[in-house]
Amino acid sequence: MYPYRQLFDFTREIFLKMGCPPKDAKLAAEVLLEADLRGVDSHGVARLSGYVRLWEAGRINATPNITIVHETPSTATVDGDGGLGLVVAPRAMDIAIAKADKVGTGWVSVRNSNHFGIAGYHAMEALSKDMIGMAMTNASPLVAPTHSIQRMLGTNPIAVAIPANEQPPFVADFATTTAANGKLEILQRKEKKAPSGWVQTADGQGSTNPFEVQSGGALLPLGGTRERGSHKGYALGAIVDIFSAVLSGANYGPWVPPFVSFLSPPDNPVGEGIGHFFGAMRIDAFRPADEFKQHMDNWIETFRKARVKKGEKAVLIPGDPERIMTQIRLKKGIPLLPPVEKDLEELSKKFEVKL
């Protein structure tokens, strides 16, 4: 178990060694570690060495000049200048919040960015302002559309954070696939089979092999099969791709550059970097915030009390598992798998930063 503070300090030091300004290094560490706190282990410190390798390959700019390239009172298009998504995304979300402050809502599409950690972090930034926050991003292609055997979309997550009063906020944050790639990686490490509906083989047959994507297979859109609604998951992933990248001028669909340094980006890009999309809506642009938040309490309490199926404990509100995990991990520390520990030790040696 690693105390949060220890991993945070280490991560910030590594970003400093990459040449990030101190404020950015701190912010990037905070965003990245939020994934570990919330139990999304695939998106946290496990990816630190990946960011470093992309920086070494010249594909991440540690000192980006993040600019608004186009705007209206309620919108902006942001160029991330190849910066860490962990830094570009909070900057873009700040712009969305500032616009919402002035005209009720703010919407920001971002190009020329990189992986931004967990979408939930960015959506939740709106909560303390009595706003609803939204965040989404495209990602390198792993997902085959319904009827297809070609990987065309990323796992393209959507996060929506909605404030309540006494109750903790509603925070949905999910990949638009049946299961996120991180969930598959866990099964790979444990050498367990995947449930049906998660992946297909290279020729489009349903499969339970968690290594299927490595053999030319694909992740499946939420729904899994056409009969079970995969065309809806495909549509959701497509909407995320279009809002994040076609609106902003980033790469979309099969052109989204891979997160790993050993795979080159496509040599015929249709845009710059990867794309994100953020939204902020002031509650009191629709209704007095207190009134709304009291009804959200009622909404949450009512759903929590819904009758449960035999064998299940409770109906959960989106965000419940991650909030509980955060409380546990802040107290007991963050567990790391041996390969992640090894990765961090190598970074520690290479950059002469104490782990």
Strand (E) or helix (H) holding 281: strand 274-282
In sequence order, which residues have a C-beta less than 8 Å from that of residue 146 and are 6 or more positions away? 221, 226, 230, 231, 234
Nearer to its own copies, 132 or 344 (CB): 132
CB of 151 to its own copies, least distance (A): 9
Residue the block writes with tokens 């053999």: 215
Tokens of 270: 């249709």
CB of 36 to its own copies, least distance (A): 21
Rounded distance, CA 341 to CA 91, Å? 30
CB of 149 to its own copies, least distance (A): 5
Nearer to its own copies, 4 or 174 (CB): 174
188 neighbors 339 (Cβ within 8 angstroms): no
CB of 238 to its own copies, least distance (A): 7
CB of 290 to its own copies, least distance (A): 13
Nearer to its own copies, 287 or 350 (CB): 287
161 neighbors 237 (Cβ within 8 angstroms): no
Task: Return the closest-CA partner of residue 186 out of 299, 308, 339.
Answer: 339
Sheet architecture: strand order including 105-113:
67-72, 75-79, 105-113, 274-282, 131-137, 158-162, 170-174
Rounded distance, CA 342 to CA 245, Å? 35
CB of 146 to its own copies, least distance (A): 7
Nearer to its own copies, 267 or 312 (CB): 312
Nearer to its own copies, 149 or 325 (CB): 149
CB of 153 to its own copies, least distance (A): 9
CB of 108 to its own copies, least distance (A): 9
CB of 113 to its own copies, least distance (A): 15
Q: Report strand pairing: 218-219 vs 131-137.
A: unpaired
Residues in the chain: 355
Nearer to its own copies, 9 or 71 (CB): 71
Q: Which long-range contacts (CB under 8 A, 24 or more apart) does 292-299 make?
A: 293/130, 293/163, 293/164, 293/165, 294/165, 296/162, 296/163, 296/164, 296/165, 296/167, 296/170, 297/164, 297/165, 297/166, 297/167, 299/164, 299/170
Nearer to its own copies, 41 or 322 (CB): 322
Nearer to its own copies, 44 or 237 (CB): 237
Burial class (CB in 10 A: 0-12, 13-18, 19+), 289: middle
CA distances (Å), origin 181, targets 138, 156, 257, 262: 14, 11, 16, 18
Nearer to its own copies, 52 or 80 (CB): 80
